[in-house]
Amino acid sequence: MRVYNFSAGPAQLPLPVLKQAAAELTDWQGSGMSVLEVSHRGKDFVACAADAEAAFRRVAGVPDNYRVLFLAGGATGQFSAIPMNLAAPGATAAFINTGQWSKKAIKEAARQGVNVVTVADESASSYTTTPEPGSFTVPADAAYLHYTPNETIGGVEFPYVPDADDVPLVADFSSTYLSRAIDVERFGVIYGGAQKNLGPAGLAIVVVREDLLDRARPDVPAIWDWKVMAGADSMLNTPPTFSIYLLGLILHWIESTGGLEAMGERNRAKAERLYAAIDASDFYTNPVEPRSRSWMNIPFTLADPALDADFLAGADAAGLTNLKGHRSVGGMRASIYNAMPDDGVTALIDYMTEFERTRA
Ligand SMILES: Cc1ncc(COP(=O)(O)O)c(C=O)c1O
């Protein structure tokens, strides 16, 4: 039996994609081998990676003057790569701090000698808010402005794209990657791990504007150098081949379900239904200011935390797994990424309603 998996990541994947991967696992495209066993330099895999990139470009609407890189090391690897590629030691970089993941990006830049300027800091609200548009000023000499469109742990999502004027905007899209239509031209760099909306762990997808490829520090290791990686079609070394293959399948699935406009509508509707259920009850609470509520990660607490364990055990028994909240927030967290069907959200709401009725 398939459960509804509300994990924050690695996360539930679309069933048709898993079925296709399973069906062709032992004999991929008539090769007599699985995709896990073929050379990344062979023509079949090179075509597979090119197809994944082309599909990503179509789905996300990536303009020609941007490169799409498939890299190992996850989003955390990019926390390191971003300063190495964009800011000399001592140079200024601007940051918006909306929670745990913003802080990790900041910490890594500071570790590399970047002069960190935090232009907006939401710690005073315990990270339940995003700054108002126009409420912060980005230094004109900043090498970039970094922000986290969706904070996976706090469940806080920007309802707008920050304006950085001529400063390149760098965004960690890990937990909201391709969850809705996106205007790539607003960004200098878009990056994120694939393991929530776009596939298995082990793959970071980096979209970088070409003019930013000439700003790397001279001593950046080749593996972290975006220009080197772009020149090698992301295959300087052996890439995470299975993750790239699965990314391709997922992108085709997104296209077959109507692309990002339709995906965004479904995600908005799923989130609205769950927030409506939480708000209609005195038993469940979501702490995030309404305008900054995430469509992807929805934390909620029970009025009586002594019931948390029972709530989770009952949910597990009902096939609703991984609802335990992050240890820093407590309570519950429902991650409802692209692959979470409407029925999964309905099942969760029904379970919550029944739990409240019998236990409140
Ligand atoms: C917003 C955000 N950024 C970065 C990361 C780190 O990603 P990775 O584990 O791929 O390095 C995560 C992981 O959950 C995340 O949610």
Q: What is the CATH number of the domain that holds 296?
A: 3.90.1150.10
How many angstroms separate the alpha carbon of residue 240 from the centre of ligand 1? 17
Residues 234 and 268 in one domain: no
pLDDT above 90 for 206: yes
Tell me: is residue 5 an annotated ligand-binding position.
no
How many angstroms separate the alpha carbon of residue 48 from the centre of ligand 1? 25
Residues 74 and 209 in one domain: yes
Question: Which of 190 and 327 is assigned the larger pLDDT?
Answer: 190
Residues 38 and 83 in one domain: yes
Residues 175 and 222 in one domain: yes
Asked if 151 and 101 count as a contact pair (C-beta separation under 8 A), the reply is yes
The Cα–Cα gap between 309 and 327 comes to 14
Find the domain containing 219 and state its range. 15-256
Asked if 284 and 277 count as a contact pair (C-beta separation under 8 A), the reply is yes
Mean pLDDT of the 247-275 span:
98
**Which protein residues are within 6 Å of ligand 1, measured from CB?**
9, 74-76, 101, 148, 152, 172, 174-175, 193
Q: Is residue 351 one of the residues assigned to a domain?
A: yes
Tell me: is residue 76 an annotated ligand-binding position.
yes
Residues 131 and 269 in one domain: no
Q: Is residue 5 one of the residues assigned to a domain?
A: no
**pTM tops 0.95:** yes
Residues 241 and 264 in one domain: no
Determine phi and psi for 191, rounding to 5 degrees: -150, 165
The Cα–Cα gap between 37 and 25 comes to 10
Residues 196 and 289 in one domain: no
Q: Is residue 3 one of the residues assigned to a domain?
A: no
The number of folded domains in the chain is 2
Q: Return the CATH number at 136.
A: 3.40.640.10
Give me the chain's average pLDDT, please: 97
Please state, in angstroms and as integers, the Cα–Cα distance from residue 101 to each residue in 11, 137, 147, 148, 353, following that order: 18, 21, 9, 7, 32
Residues 252 and 269 in one domain: no
pLDDT above 90 for 328: no
Tell me: is residue 128 an annotated ligand-binding position.
no
Which pLDDT score, from 0 to 100, does residue 1 have? 86
Mean pLDDT of the 129-147 span:
97
Q: Is residue 1 one of the residues assigned to a domain?
A: no
| Given 28, 43, 44, 101, the catalytic residue | 101
pLDDT tens by residue, 66-123: 999 999 999 999 999 999 999 999 999 999 999 999 999 999 999 999 999 999 999 9
Place of tokens 């929670």: 99
Residues 196 and 303 in one domain: no
pLDDT tens by residue, 33-72: 999 999 999 999 999 999 999 999 999 999 999 999 999 9
Model confidence band, residue 360 (pLDDT cutoffs 50, 70, 90): confident
Beta carbons within 8 Å of 347's beta carbon, 6+ residues apart? 4, 318, 319, 320
Decide if 295 is catalytic. Answer: no
pLDDT above 90 for 159: yes
Please state, in angstroms and as integers, the Cα–Cα distance from residue 114 to each residue in 117, 131, 192, following that order: 9, 23, 21
Which pLDDT score, from 0 to 100, does residue 296 have? 98
